[in-house]
Amino acid sequence: MELIDLEKKFQEKIDKEIKIEPLDWMPEAYRKTNVRQISQHAHSEIVGMLPEGNWISRAPSLKRKAILIAKVQDEAGHGLYLYSAAETLGTSREQMIDDLHSGKAKYSSIFNYPTLTWADMGAVGWLVDGAAILNQVMLCRTSYGPYARAMVRICKEESFHQRQGFESLIVLSKGTAEQKAMCQDAINRWWWPSLMMFGPKDSESTNSDQSMKWKIKRKTNDELRQNFVDMIAEQVKLLGMTLPDPDLKWNEATKHYDFGEINWEEFWNVVKGNGPCNRQRLEARNKAHKEGDWVRAAALAHAEKRKNKLAKQDLAVA
């Protein structure tokens, strides 16, 4: 078949909402875009373990400790599911991890911000997981089958992440004066970076949007960001806290919340590696991987020995 026909057939499938599966023909750019997006998503889950992992040893009650550990562990699972999905496109996990460690591949910039107090655990769950979930729910319908299926599994697991975060903020918001202040401070610090998670404004992009056409992505950055603001602006009232944006107000005409301008200079700086924790995050991942090398080598060597031993036994029996 001619390339042009293949492309036409491919697009027809997409238009008919038929999922693309690993062995199906796909345009090279579709493959590449998916590998990049899925692996960056996977990296985000893995690097995202670090800021929260940071508070596991100091969680203020045994219940909170168990919840936090389970949550951070879930993120490891999410990374694993996503790496697996990307591997179906022919890129090995090892390759993707190398790209992360060398600084070539990116991950969500939000995880380059530090978690300074216990309230950050609540704020991260509520705002960061909350922002991620909007994106992830959309991605459950993405056109690449393995990615969509990974997202379905992830969304099922995510549902407790945001809830536990919000619940722990509720407790703080009803607590001592110090706890209330801690809660407000965390919201103040995490609000803007959460909005940045949705990426640059739609208007920044001038060309035709291939990702939308291919249904890899199904809503624009600004649409998702607006959904998020509308949701959080209501929920924050339940906490009796405020969002650090003087321009935030309900717009009766649009039936949405208006909000202020994001500091894009900060956004691009953090993306480019100048965030407060970029270096530490990558160093931590590099260290874990490097120190794991001899472990992985030993397990392989042992598996090989065991296989040979079994083969010898079989020979002896025969």
Binding site for Fe ion (CB under 5 A): 45, 48, 75, 78, 129, 132, 158, 161
Q: Which does 161 bind (CB under 5 to 8 A by kind): Fe ion, other proteins, none?
A: Fe ion
Q: Which of other proteins, Fe ion, none does residue 278 bind to, with CB < 5 to 8 Å depending on kind?
A: other proteins
Window 204 to 263, contacts with other proteins (CB under 8 A): 204-207, 209-212, 217, 221, 224
Q: How far apart are CA 74 and CA 154, in angstroms?
A: 9
With contact defined as beta carbons under 8 Å apart, do 125 and 168 qualify? yes
**∠ CA(83), CA(41), CA(215), 5° rounding?**
100
Answer yes or no: are the C-beta atoms of 51 and 117 closer than 8 Å: no
Question: Rounded distance, CA 14 to CA 72, Å?
Answer: 35
By CB under 8 A, name the one of 283, 308, 311, 312 that touches other proteins.
283
For other proteins, the closer CB: 23 or 318: 23
Q: Which string of x and - marks every residue 111-130 that binds other proteins (by CB under 8 A)?
A: -------x------------
Q: From 233-241, 244-252, 253-261, 289-297, give the range in contact with other proteins by CB under 8 A.
A: 289-297
Residues numbered 11 to 50 that lie near other proteins (CB under 8 A) are 21, 23-25, 27-29, 33, 36-37, 40-41, 44, 46, 49-50
Q: How far is the CB of 61 from other proteins (least distance, A)?
A: 5
CB contact set of 148 (below 8 Å; sequence gap of 6+): 19, 139, 140, 141, 142
Instruction: Check binding of 170 to other proteins (CB under 8 A).
Output: no
Q: Which CB atom, from 151 or from 243, has the smaller least distance to Fe ion? A: 151
Our finding on whether 141 is near other proteins (CB under 8 A) is no
Q: At what angle do helices 28-47 and 145-173 cross, to 10 degrees?
A: 30
**Rounded CA gap, 180 and 158, in Å?**
26
* 15-51 as b/e: b if 16+ CB within 10 A: eeeebbeeeeebeeebbebbbbbbbbbbbbbbbbbbb
Cβ proximity to Fe ion, 97 vs 131, nearer residue: 131
